[in-house]
């Protein structure tokens, strides 16, 4: 599994209804995108849930690498880049993924946590702990899905929790999810996803 996220930070006085309208009218365009496991159309709004910024920050879990390439070099990303400038795309390797008991219900909120990996720590231990954490969340009511990922350019462990209701109190960046596309969620491997 591969994952990616880009963050478009908007002015403090930006009218976020523009983003909401954009997602409402275009979000369904990825509902059957080839190779896409899950896309969460995520936003942060300044002053809401502790966010210091207005931000459009969708994230993606890919069942197939070819799907990610097709998206990045396709018309949808080209339109986004024309409207907002081409954003930096953070690409991550999936370490663990679980579909929660409510994965058939659209996610409404999400939490992202990012932890820098200890340069002296063995990666196998990091992976084992992430898999154990994912399995610990697997049966939690209200959980849509949980993913643990490693960004190998910054050596950070990134976790996304998607919830079908308000996310529980926890540290991390909190998002409102405006739409979820999950055409190939069943194709995402459960449990440990990387390395083989």
C-alpha pair distances (Å), 64 with each of 67, 145, 158, 185: 5, 18, 20, 11
Is pLDDT at 114 greater than 80 in this prediction?
Answer: yes
Residues 6+ positions from 25 with CB-CB distance below 8 Å: none
Q: What is the pLDDT of residue 167?
A: 84
Q: Mean of the pLDDT values across residues 170-176?
A: 92
What is the pTM (predicted TM-score) of this model? Answer: 0.94
CATH of 2-192 given 3.40.50.2000, 1.10.287.1770, 3.30.565.10, 3.30.70.100: 3.30.70.100
| DSSP state for residue 110 in the 8-state scheme | E
Q: Are 46 and 12 in contact (CB under 8 A)?
A: yes
Domain-wise residue ranges, the chain = 2-192
Read off the pLDDT band of 196 (50, 70, 90): low
């Amino acid at each position: 599994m591969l994952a990616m996220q880009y963050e478009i930070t908007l002015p403090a006085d930006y009218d976020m209804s523009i983003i909401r309208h954009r997602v409402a009218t275009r979000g369904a365009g990825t509902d059957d995108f080839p190779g896409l496991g899950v896309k969460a159309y995520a936003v942060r709004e300044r002053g809401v849930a502790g966010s210091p910024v207005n931000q459009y920050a969708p994230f993606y879990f890919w069942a197939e690498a070819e799907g990610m390439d097709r998206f990045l070099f396709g018309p949808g990303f080209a339109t986004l880049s024309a409207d907002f400038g081409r954003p930096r795309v953070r690409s991550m390797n999936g370490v663990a993924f679980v579909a929660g008991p409510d994965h058939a219900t659209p996610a409404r909120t999400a939490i992202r946590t990012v932890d820098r990996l200890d340069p002296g720590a063995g990666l196998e231990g990091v992976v084992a702990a992430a898999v154990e954490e994912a399995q610990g969340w697997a049966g939690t009511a209200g959980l849509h899905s949980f993913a643990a990922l490693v960004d190998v350019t910054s050596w950070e462990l990134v976790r996304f929790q998607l919830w079908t209701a308000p996310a529980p109190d926890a540290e991390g960046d909190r998002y409102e999810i405006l739409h979820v596309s999950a055409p190939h969620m069943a194709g995402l491997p459960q449990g440990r996803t990387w390395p083989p």
